[in-house]
Amino acid sequence: MSKLVIWGRTNSINVQKVLWTCAELELAFERIDAGLQFGVNKTPEYMQNNPNGLVPLINDNGFILWESHAIMRYLARKHDHQGAIAPQDPQKDALVDQWLDWYNTVAWPAMKPLFWGWVRTPAEQRNVDELEKARLQMVVILEMLEKQLGKAVYVSGAQFTLADIPLALLAFRWFNLALERPSFPNLSKWYEEIAKRPGFQKYSSGPLT
Protein backbone atom coordinates (compact mmCIF):
# COMPACT_ATOMS: atom_id res chain seq x y z
CA MET A 1 0.00 0.00 0.00
CA SER A 2 1.36 3.42 -0.92
CA LYS A 3 2.41 5.54 2.03
CA LEU A 4 2.48 9.31 2.17
CA VAL A 5 4.67 10.94 4.82
CA ILE A 6 4.56 14.70 5.46
CA TRP A 7 7.18 16.58 7.48
CA GLY A 8 6.10 19.83 9.07
CA ARG A 9 4.67 21.47 12.17
CA THR A 10 0.93 22.08 12.07
CA ASN A 11 1.13 25.85 12.70
CA SER A 12 3.08 26.44 9.46
CA ILE A 13 0.92 27.97 6.71
CA ASN A 14 2.81 25.98 4.09
CA VAL A 15 2.26 22.73 5.91
CA GLN A 16 -1.41 23.60 6.47
CA LYS A 17 -1.87 23.97 2.69
CA VAL A 18 -0.74 20.37 2.19
CA LEU A 19 -2.71 18.95 5.13
CA TRP A 20 -5.88 20.69 3.94
CA THR A 21 -5.30 19.39 0.38
CA CYS A 22 -5.04 15.87 1.80
CA ALA A 23 -8.33 16.44 3.64
CA GLU A 24 -10.05 17.57 0.41
CA LEU A 25 -8.74 14.47 -1.37
CA GLU A 26 -9.45 12.18 1.61
CA LEU A 27 -5.84 10.97 1.66
CA ALA A 28 -4.34 9.10 4.57
CA PHE A 29 -0.86 10.20 5.65
CA GLU A 30 1.66 10.09 8.44
CA ARG A 31 2.89 13.48 9.67
CA ILE A 32 6.22 14.07 11.40
CA ASP A 33 6.73 17.29 13.38
CA ALA A 34 9.55 19.41 11.94
CA GLY A 35 10.50 23.09 11.91
CA LEU A 36 11.06 25.76 14.59
CA GLN A 37 11.00 24.18 18.08
CA PHE A 38 10.88 20.65 16.63
CA GLY A 39 14.13 21.00 14.68
CA VAL A 40 14.63 18.11 12.19
CA ASN A 41 14.54 20.36 9.11
CA LYS A 42 18.20 21.40 9.34
CA THR A 43 19.63 17.93 9.89
CA PRO A 44 21.89 16.56 7.13
CA GLU A 45 19.40 13.74 6.44
CA TYR A 46 16.53 16.20 5.99
CA MET A 47 18.64 18.64 3.94
CA GLN A 48 19.47 15.82 1.55
CA ASN A 49 15.78 15.59 0.77
CA ASN A 50 15.05 19.31 0.93
CA PRO A 51 18.17 21.46 0.47
CA ASN A 52 16.13 24.51 1.54
CA GLY A 53 15.79 23.05 5.03
CA LEU A 54 12.14 24.14 5.11
CA VAL A 55 8.78 22.48 5.71
CA PRO A 56 6.73 20.94 4.20
CA LEU A 57 8.46 17.98 2.62
CA ILE A 58 6.78 14.78 1.48
CA ASN A 59 7.86 11.24 0.75
CA ASP A 60 5.16 9.53 -1.27
CA ASN A 61 6.20 5.91 -1.40
CA GLY A 62 9.79 6.92 -2.23
CA PHE A 63 8.98 10.04 -4.27
CA ILE A 64 10.42 13.10 -2.52
CA LEU A 65 8.93 16.56 -3.10
CA TRP A 66 9.18 20.01 -1.48
CA GLU A 67 7.49 23.39 -2.12
CA SER A 68 3.95 23.46 -0.80
CA HIS A 69 2.24 24.43 -4.08
CA ALA A 70 4.15 21.78 -6.03
CA ILE A 71 3.04 19.22 -3.43
CA MET A 72 -0.59 20.35 -3.63
CA ARG A 73 -0.57 20.13 -7.41
CA TYR A 74 1.16 16.74 -7.36
CA LEU A 75 -1.36 15.25 -4.95
CA ALA A 76 -4.23 16.62 -7.02
CA ARG A 77 -2.72 15.31 -10.28
CA LYS A 78 -2.30 11.90 -8.73
CA HIS A 79 -5.61 11.56 -6.92
CA ASP A 80 -8.13 14.12 -8.21
CA HIS A 81 -9.34 12.26 -11.29
CA GLN A 82 -12.70 14.03 -11.31
CA GLY A 83 -11.29 17.56 -11.14
CA ALA A 84 -12.88 18.16 -7.74
CA ILE A 85 -10.24 20.69 -6.65
CA ALA A 86 -7.98 20.93 -9.72
CA PRO A 87 -10.04 21.50 -12.88
CA GLN A 88 -9.16 19.35 -15.88
CA ASP A 89 -9.97 22.08 -18.36
CA PRO A 90 -6.56 23.65 -19.24
CA GLN A 91 -7.82 27.23 -18.99
CA LYS A 92 -9.56 26.74 -15.65
CA ASP A 93 -6.48 24.94 -14.39
CA ALA A 94 -4.24 27.79 -15.60
CA LEU A 95 -6.34 30.23 -13.58
CA VAL A 96 -5.69 28.09 -10.51
CA ASP A 97 -1.96 28.38 -11.23
CA GLN A 98 -2.29 32.12 -11.75
CA TRP A 99 -3.73 32.65 -8.27
CA LEU A 100 -1.31 30.21 -6.63
CA ASP A 101 1.57 32.16 -8.19
CA TRP A 102 -0.05 35.44 -7.15
CA TYR A 103 -0.18 34.19 -3.59
CA ASN A 104 3.54 33.35 -3.71
CA THR A 105 4.76 36.46 -5.45
CA VAL A 106 2.35 39.17 -4.25
CA ALA A 107 0.01 38.24 -1.41
CA TRP A 108 2.21 36.28 1.03
CA PRO A 109 5.28 38.56 0.63
CA ALA A 110 2.98 41.41 1.76
CA MET A 111 1.39 39.42 4.59
CA LYS A 112 4.59 37.90 5.96
CA PRO A 113 5.97 41.08 7.62
CA LEU A 114 2.60 41.67 9.30
CA PHE A 115 2.44 38.12 10.59
CA TRP A 116 6.04 38.10 11.82
CA GLY A 117 5.79 41.60 13.26
CA TRP A 118 2.60 41.05 15.24
CA VAL A 119 2.86 37.35 16.08
CA ARG A 120 6.52 36.40 16.31
CA THR A 121 8.24 39.66 17.36
CA PRO A 122 8.33 40.71 21.02
CA ALA A 123 6.30 43.93 21.56
CA GLU A 124 9.37 45.99 22.54
CA GLN A 125 11.11 45.11 19.27
CA ARG A 126 8.19 45.95 16.97
CA ASN A 127 8.56 48.74 14.40
CA VAL A 128 4.99 49.99 14.54
CA ASP A 129 5.46 52.51 11.68
CA GLU A 130 6.75 49.79 9.36
CA LEU A 131 3.88 47.53 10.42
CA GLU A 132 1.36 50.24 9.58
CA LYS A 133 2.93 50.62 6.11
CA ALA A 134 2.68 46.85 5.71
CA ARG A 135 -0.98 46.90 6.75
CA LEU A 136 -1.81 49.59 4.17
CA GLN A 137 0.04 47.62 1.49
CA MET A 138 -1.94 44.51 2.44
CA VAL A 139 -5.20 46.44 2.11
CA VAL A 140 -4.27 47.37 -1.49
CA ILE A 141 -3.51 43.74 -2.28
CA LEU A 142 -6.71 42.46 -0.68
CA GLU A 143 -8.67 44.97 -2.77
CA MET A 144 -7.59 42.92 -5.81
CA LEU A 145 -8.95 39.78 -4.22
CA GLU A 146 -12.11 41.63 -3.19
CA LYS A 147 -12.69 42.65 -6.84
CA GLN A 148 -12.04 39.11 -8.08
CA LEU A 149 -14.49 37.68 -5.53
CA GLY A 150 -17.09 40.14 -6.78
CA LYS A 151 -16.86 38.44 -10.20
CA ALA A 152 -16.41 34.82 -9.11
CA VAL A 153 -17.69 32.78 -6.16
CA TYR A 154 -14.28 31.26 -5.55
CA VAL A 155 -10.81 32.61 -6.19
CA SER A 156 -10.25 31.10 -9.64
CA GLY A 157 -13.89 30.82 -10.78
CA ALA A 158 -17.16 29.08 -10.02
CA GLN A 159 -15.59 26.09 -8.29
CA PHE A 160 -13.59 25.66 -5.07
CA THR A 161 -10.03 24.77 -6.13
CA LEU A 162 -6.47 24.55 -4.86
CA ALA A 163 -6.23 28.31 -5.39
CA ASP A 164 -8.62 28.96 -2.50
CA ILE A 165 -6.50 27.07 0.02
CA PRO A 166 -3.44 29.32 0.48
CA LEU A 167 -5.51 32.49 0.20
CA ALA A 168 -8.01 31.29 2.82
CA LEU A 169 -5.11 30.47 5.16
CA LEU A 170 -3.74 33.95 4.55
CA ALA A 171 -7.20 35.41 5.19
CA PHE A 172 -7.37 33.49 8.48
CA ARG A 173 -4.22 35.32 9.58
CA TRP A 174 -5.53 38.67 8.33
CA PHE A 175 -8.85 38.27 10.18
CA ASN A 176 -7.18 37.07 13.38
CA LEU A 177 -4.60 39.81 13.76
CA ALA A 178 -5.72 42.75 15.93
CA LEU A 179 -5.59 45.19 13.01
CA GLU A 180 -7.83 47.85 11.54
CA ARG A 181 -9.51 46.25 8.54
CA PRO A 182 -11.63 47.93 5.88
CA SER A 183 -14.89 46.23 4.99
CA PHE A 184 -14.43 43.74 2.15
CA PRO A 185 -17.91 42.20 1.71
CA ASN A 186 -17.00 39.79 -1.10
CA LEU A 187 -13.92 38.58 0.72
CA SER A 188 -15.87 38.11 3.95
CA LYS A 189 -18.65 36.18 2.19
CA TRP A 190 -16.12 33.89 0.48
CA TYR A 191 -14.23 33.40 3.75
CA GLU A 192 -17.40 32.46 5.64
CA GLU A 193 -18.18 29.86 2.98
CA ILE A 194 -14.65 28.45 2.97
CA ALA A 195 -14.60 28.33 6.77
CA LYS A 196 -17.32 25.67 6.62
CA ARG A 197 -14.97 23.19 4.93
CA PRO A 198 -13.74 20.42 7.23
CA GLY A 199 -10.16 20.76 5.93
CA PHE A 200 -10.10 24.45 6.87
CA GLN A 201 -11.63 23.77 10.27
CA LYS A 202 -9.21 20.99 11.05
CA TYR A 203 -5.97 22.60 9.90
CA SER A 204 -6.26 26.38 9.90
CA SER A 205 -7.76 27.21 13.23
CA GLY A 206 -6.18 27.78 16.60
CA PRO A 207 -4.27 30.76 17.93
CA LEU A 208 -1.68 32.31 15.62
CA THR A 209 1.80 31.18 16.65
Residue nearest to ligand GSH (CB): 35
Instruction: Compute the chain's Rg from CA coordinates.
Output: 17
Q: Within 13 A of 122's CA, how many CA atoms are on the CB side?
A: 2
CB of 1 to ligand GSH, least distance (A): 26
* Distance, CA of 49 to CA of 36 (rounded, Å): 18
CB of 73 to ligand GSH, least distance (A): 12
Q: What angle do CA 15, 169, 25 make, to 5 degrees?
A: 60
The nearer residue to ligand GSH, 42 or 189, going by C-beta atoms, is: 42
H/E stretch holding 30: strand 30-32
The nearer residue to ligand GSH, 82 or 105, going by C-beta atoms, is: 105
CB of 183 to ligand GSH, least distance (A): 29
- The residues of the shown chain that bind ligand GSH, judged by CB under 6 A, are 12-14, 35-36, 41, 54-56, 67-68
Residue 63 — φ and ψ, nearest 5°? -90, 120
The nearer residue to ligand GSH, 4 or 54, going by C-beta atoms, is: 54
CB of 7 to ligand GSH, least distance (A): 9
Please count the other Cβ atoms lying within 10 Å of the Cβ belonging to residue 87: 22
The nearer residue to ligand GSH, 13 or 84, going by C-beta atoms, is: 13
Exposed, middle or buried, 184 (CB in 10 Å: 0-12/13-18/19+)?
Answer: buried
How many residues are recorded in the chain?
Answer: 209
CB of 116 to ligand GSH, least distance (A): 11
The nearer residue to ligand GSH, 201 or 209, going by C-beta atoms, is: 209
